[in-house]
């Protein structure tokens, strides 16, 4: 089955590292990255959806980051 995550972070190298780490663990990019201005904190935020095929069935308590 395929699982889904949406990674977010301030638009800095930390975001690139977060996505790169997910890719190194077998996650695949899904769609285009997204950007939005976080007015409350005065920063740009970035987001990227990723998916991964896993053998276990989905359950709501699954720790997606640990997959």
- pLDDT digit string (tens) for the chain, length 67 residues: 899 999 999 999 999 999 999 999 999 999 999 999 999 999 999 999 999 999 888 888 888 877 7
Report if residue 47 sits inside a domain.
yes
- Model confidence, pTM: 0.86
Q: Which helix (H) or strand (E) holds 14?
A: helix 13-24
Report if residue 15 sits inside a domain.
yes
Domain that holds residue 39: 2-57
Report if residue 49 sits inside a domain.
yes
- For residue 25, CA distances in Å to 22, 32, 50 come to 5, 19, 11
Report if residue 64 sits inside a domain.
no
- Put residue 41 in one of left, alpha, beta given phi > 0 → left and psi -120 to 50 → alpha: alpha
Report if residue 51 sits inside a domain.
yes
As for how many domains the chain has, the answer is: 1
Report if residue 11 sits inside a domain.
yes
């Amino acid at each position: 089955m395929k699982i889904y995550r949406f990674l977010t972070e301030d638009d800095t190298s930390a975001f690139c590292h977060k996505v790169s780490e997910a890719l190194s663990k077998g996650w695949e990019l899904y769609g285009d990255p997204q950007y939005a201005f976080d007015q409350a904190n005065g920063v740009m935020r970035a987001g990227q959806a990723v998916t991964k095929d896993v053998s276990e069935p989905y359950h709501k308590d699954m720790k997606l980051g640990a997959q």
